[in-house]
Amino acid sequence: MKDGWISIHRSIQDHWIYPNREFTKLEAWIDMLLEVNHREKKVLIGSTVIKVKRGESIKSLDTWGKRWKWNKSKVRRFFELLKKDEMIVSINEKITTRIIVCNYNKLQPQVKRKRNTSETQTTPNNNEKKEINNIYRGFAHLKITVEENEKLLKLGYNQQKIDDIYDRIENYNNNKKYKSLYLTARTWLKKEKSNNQRMDLIC
């Protein structure tokens, strides 16, 4: 293997060059690296909350198959192939399949890149700096500003709950249909609060 590595931003999945046909094995593997969690989080499936660690995914075989335009049997055979080569570990959960990418921290190291002063750099103008500093969270085509995040806090939600909602929206398969991360997060938070209040009344 050649030395060195490159980083690929997850937004490439929204680019026109990303496969819109049946995936090859290589493309499926790269897609897995892009789709597994980059940090630990909790995911709600039905009425069950599941903790998913960094380098793991709890997408079902059907979900992977739809992404790659494969049938369920082909996905299962591919996972078996990866397991034999010690690239992944799969664990059958009650409602889904947990995939763990082996050596994920080596494949996607958490490092802060230091700027090389010898590199040619483009200095952003004041407006660009202001826009960058004003973004609280962003993924794919969705972004939320610091001010919008503050609005959610003023509605009575704590930051941990808000961040959890951002994570769930990011992992939601149909998030491409959303145009505003702020409005979507506010709707999801309101809906979850309403559901919790109903559960309290029942209990």
3-state secondary structure 86-114: CCEEEEECCCCEEEEECCHHHHCCCCCCC
| Residue 201: pLDDT band with limits 50, 70, 90 | low
The stretch 27-45 carries a mean pLDDT of: 90
Residue 161 to residue 186: CA distance in whole angstroms: 11
Most confident of 90-99, 130-139, 144-153: 144-153
Give me the mean pLDDT over the 145-165 stretch.
89
- Statement: the pTM of the whole predicted model exceeds 0.85: no
Query: What is the reported pLDDT for 113?
Result: 47
Q: What is the pLDDT of residues 57-73, one digit of tens each?
A: 999 899 999 999 999 99
How far apart (Å, rounded) are the C-alpha atoms in residues 180 and 115?
32
What mean pLDDT is predicted for residues 186-191? 92
Query: Which ranges constitute the DSSP H helices of the chain?
Result: 25-35, 61-68, 72-84, 104-107, 126-134, 146-154, 159-171, 181-202
**Least trusted range by pLDDT, from 64-73, 113-122, 133-142:** 113-122
Question: What gap in Å lies between CA 11 and CA 139, rounded to an integer?
Answer: 7
Give pLDDT, residue 138. 76
Nearest Cα residue to 25 out of 97, 94, 86, 77 = 77
